[in-house]
Structure 1
Amino acid sequence: MSRSRQTINPATEETLATYTLMSRDEANQVIEHTHEAFLQWRKTSFAERAELLRKVASLIRERKDDYAALMTKEMGKTLASGKQECELCAAICEYAAEHGADELAEQTRDLRGGRALISYQPIGVIYGIQPWNFPLYQVIRYSADNLMVGNTVLLKHAGNVWGMALEVEKLYRDAGLPEHAFRTLLIDHDTSDAVIEHRLVRGVTLTGSPAAGADIAQKAAKVLKKTVLELGSNDAYLVLGDADIEKAVKFCVMGRINNTGQTCVAAKRFIVVDAVYDQFRNAFVEAMGKITVGDPTSQDTVMGPMARKDLRDKLHDQVQRSIEAGATCALGGEVPDRTGYYYPATVLENVKPGQPAYDDELFGPVAALIRVKDEEEAMRVANDSPFGLGGGIFSTDPERAIKLARDEFDTGMVNINGYNLAQPNLPFGGVKDSGYGREHGGFGMHEFVNIKSIMINEK
């Protein structure tokens, strides 16, 4: 079996770099070092940890042009999108620095005959298995919170973004983090399984597919380790009869083509009531048809290539199978004859159960239009999915939309009259096959801690 991996530029199909995989013994040595770093890092104050994270934020902003360029080379993200990702990561670090001490502050509780304290204590080495679609953000979002807690961190990044994986390790080290408190593991799946089982690894967090999540959760459960899983989704965006159609089209297009559609919390299914379906459909197809696809380093490009050839091929297969099962293609749907792993903005209509466009996650710039009779049917169809990460509602009656979002939408997040990605101050995560646990907004700091009760008897 090959002990090396290559990264490929998806726009040019050129090899960028070749990396040598770590052996299991080398990985074990890194884990030992990261645990030793934990024994010291856990003794630092909240103020020291906050200072470190503020320095990380500062360095991210200083290096955002370089980081964006690397993301573009490794996975095809546009330069503008890469810079936005850097700004989000800096804000996440600053939020953790600003609010960590309050989130983790000791609490007092009543105790008959005395008093009680509740203390949030770090537990050790946390192992993160992360995907390629947001190469910096996926790492920062779990590592910043865990370092603020006092844990130390291991990373197994996707093989096509190992350049960024090593850059994040350097980023933390340059900011002043002890040398082994954050380490990147360049390893294969078998070695990764051994990392999960290692006695010094105390928790596992994964962002990936439901199949990957189920596999990792089972492996961790066998050795009694907690997991946090952020998995795929097939987010539904509802366009109700009283929606502002111009606004709905604007944000639905944005939500579908962001990051070339390679976003777990992207808008994917567009469920439109009959009264406004034709109006929305015509405007949406027209807007999607104007999306420029091309060189991700060009300022005029809205969508770059998909990250890998196998991902594009899978997406196209899902489109073809949906059409064979009765969907119609209103736009796109053909692999362009050009160098690079490009795929056009695509719109499918007559999408119904039994088609991949209805049942599965299409991880690319393909929109599924679903026509429904009324609001009640719209919500039923929205929830008719094994996934439950995000979703959206467009209505000029915000209170009605809020009630639907709060009481009816079976997802972890809902947008009303807009489209938002992750926010540093709000919890991020889903339900059902979209996983469990939360990140951001202070919630991620409570996932991998020992919530310790201390009972003091005074009488």
Structure 2
Amino acid sequence: MPIATVNPATGETLKTFAELGPEDVERRLATADAAFRAYRTTGFAERSRLLRHAAELLDDDRDDIARTMTTEMGKPLAAARAEAAKCAKAMRWYAGNAEALLADETPPEAEARDAGASVARVHYRPLGVVLAVMPWNFPLWQVVRFAAPALMAGNVGLLKHASNVPQTALYLEDLFLRAGFPEGCFQTLLIGSGAVEAVLRDPRVAAATLTGSEPAGRAVAAVAGDEVKKTVLELGGSDPYVVLPSADLARAVRTAVTARVQNNGQSCIAAKRFIVHTDVYDAFAERFTALMEGLTVGDPMAESTDVGPLATERGRADLEELVDDALRRGATALCGGRRPAGREHGWYYEPTVLAGVTPEMRIHREEAFGPVATLYRVDGVDEAIAVANDSPFGLSSNVWTRDEEEQRRFVRDMEAGGVFFNGMTASHPALPFGGVKRSGYGRELSGHGIREFCNVTTVWYGAEPGA
């Protein structure tokens, strides 16, 4: 795939970029390695000052970088602005909390003496150069939720971004440089996917993090495993959205629409499978379909647009294949199921609701990365949990019930990295984020995320420190 900005609203190639050659990559690896050796010794106060400055600059740049993101991957402009604001918030959160999250820990004196020590401590030390392989769907947020904690922990970053968001990728490198981070602390590598393995195998790279598809995660994990290097993977999701009789149905329906079409439906944590109790199924399906059908599909730069184009032509083709397979096998399109009329250019697809989905349909097992929802009717909590867990993915989940016993059941039995009651899944710097099963492993955000790329060091003193 060429490294280029291609406007998904028109299909027009706006700008192309040359891929870095081996000598350029080597120079950046050497710069990153040298930067880490110096940057690792900086204190939290200095790192915090730099990251807060980056947040201030991002606030100033919000409108411009939002337009860049919308141009490159098609999200509505309002959503792009919100993404930039969320990134600045996350930077400030880590700038203010990293020191406490990585504070030295001292086991109780009795336990230390039982271990033969006068004093024992646990220190969190940075690992080194971390390679980040990131996707296009949240081109700022996916990177910042790695970069902010990694930099605050004393690591340095190399970004291999998706090939269709090169201008956003280059902006991030420039942002951290303008904020005052030393050269080499954060660099963008304009390389294709075929060049990732060599970078990951380089001994100067200590670890990797990837957000993206399951095949991409498998490839990076295989190389990292061969090199015995730490990885964090956030892969696909096909999140369930369960609605039970005690739910506030009006709120559940409104939220369901947002949960499905956020980011034009191209979000790993978007609700995709709507599992509704038979007592409220008909009412939910009618209201949900009406709202989905009423969404405005159009130019993502227009403030009135609810759903813009899909980011790539291949992405739309993949989505069409899933929907067409389901329809051939007996599913019913309550709305959508086609490209919108009158839009000959750009990669648009109508908001779609499919009913009558069965296990032999591909969409039952595969992630639908676009504004397509699948409806399931269930008779009770046991069946709802069984259908929710009948997926190779386990990123997050949404459950609408006001019954406390039902809530306890879902907390205990849901196979997912998160369970959100009476609301929609969302990421926040203070909450750990990640999944199970084929949705990956490890966690981003919160204290769990910042410690993923730290060397947890046991320090044992046979006598009092300094004695």
Provide TM-score, normalisation by structure 2: 0.96
Preserved contact between residue 129 and residue 155 of structure 2 (Cα < 8 Å): yes
CA drift of 1:180 comes to 1.0
1:186 paired residue number = 190
Among residues 412, 418, 421, which one is paired with 1:416 in the alignment?
421
Q: Deviations over 1:210-232 (max 9, x none)?
A: 12111110111001001000000
The amino acid across from 2:423 in the alignment is G
Preserved contact between residue 117 and residue 460 of structure 2 (Cα < 8 Å): no
CA drift of 1:321 comes to 0.6
The amino acid across from 2:179 in the alignment is A
Preserved contact between residue 243 and residue 399 of structure 2 (Cα < 8 Å): yes
2:376 paired residue number = 370
Aligned ranges for residues 3-42 of structure 1 at < 5 Å? 5-42=3-40
The amino acid across from 1:162 in the alignment is P
The amino acid across from 1:18 in the alignment is T
1:146 paired residue number = 150
1: CA distance, partners of 2:398 / 2:122: 38
2: CA distance, partners of 1:102 / 1:199: 31
Q: Deviations over 1:149-208 (max 9, x none)?
A: 000000000000000000000000000001111000001122111001000000010001
Preserved contact between residue 332 and residue 344 of structure 1 (Cα < 8 Å): yes
1:247 paired residue number = 251
2: CA distance, partners of 1:138 / 1:363: 17
Preserved contact between residue 135 and residue 164 of structure 1 (Cα < 8 Å): yes
2: CA distance, partners of 1:22 / 1:122: 28
CA drift of 1:5 comes to 2.7
1: CA distance, partners of 2:415 / 2:15: 43
1: CA distance, partners of 2:267 / 2:123: 36
Preserved contact between residue 3 and residue 192 of structure 2 (Cα < 8 Å): no
2: CA distance, partners of 1:403 / 1:32: 52
Q: Deviations over 1:330-349 (max 9, x none)?
A: 11011234211101100000
1: CA distance, partners of 2:290 / 2:117: 72
Aligned ranges for residues 277-292 of structure 1 at < 5 Å? 277-292=281-296
2: CA distance, partners of 1:355 / 1:50: 50
CA drift of 1:405 comes to 3.2
Distance 1:403 1:205, change over 3 A: same
The amino acid across from 1:75 in the alignment is M
Among residues 270, 274, 280, which one is paired with 1:270 in the alignment?
274
2: CA distance, partners of 1:444 / 1:135: 19
The amino acid across from 1:11 in the alignment is A
Among residues 390, 397, 415, which one is paired with 1:391 in the alignment?
397
Q: Does 1:105 align with 2:103?
A: yes
2: CA distance, partners of 1:195 / 1:204: 10
1:354 paired residue number = 360
The amino acid across from 1:350 in the alignment is G
Aligned ranges for residues 302-381 of structure 1 at < 5 Å? 302-336=306-340, 337-381=343-387
Q: Does 1:296 align with 2:300?
A: yes
Preserved contact between residue 76 and residue 307 of structure 1 (Cα < 8 Å): yes
Preserved contact between residue 261 and residue 363 of structure 1 (Cα < 8 Å): yes
Aligned ranges for residues 175-214 of structure 1 at < 5 Å? 175-214=179-218
Preserved contact between residue 335 and residue 351 of structure 2 (Cα < 8 Å): yes
Distance 1:382 1:155, change over 3 A: same
Among residues 229, 253, 261, which one is paired with 2:233 in the alignment?
229
Preserved contact between residue 133 and residue 161 of structure 2 (Cα < 8 Å): yes
Q: Deviations over 1:280-337 (max 9, x none)?
A: 1101101101110001111111111110111001101110011112211111011234
Preserved contact between residue 127 and residue 454 of structure 2 (Cα < 8 Å): yes
2: CA distance, partners of 1:24 / 1:308: 28
Aligned residue pairs: how many?
Answer: 456
Preserved contact between residue 292 and residue 351 of structure 2 (Cα < 8 Å): yes
2: CA distance, partners of 1:324 / 1:330: 15
2: CA distance, partners of 1:402 / 1:278: 23
What are structure 2's unaligned runs of at least 5 residues?
Answer: none
2: CA distance, partners of 1:295 / 1:338: 13
3-state SS, counterpart of residue 338 of structure 1: coil
3-state SS, counterpart of residue 54 of structure 1: helix
2:439 paired residue number = 434
The amino acid across from 2:262 in the alignment is N
Moved segments of 4+, more than 4 Å: none
Preserved contact between residue 256 and residue 367 of structure 1 (Cα < 8 Å): yes
What are structure 1's unaligned runs of at least 5 residues?
Answer: none
3-state SS, counterpart of residue 419 of structure 1: coil
3-state SS, counterpart of residue 194 of structure 1: helix
3-state SS, counterpart of residue 108 of structure 1: coil
1:83 paired residue number = 81
Distance 1:279 1:220, change over 3 A: same
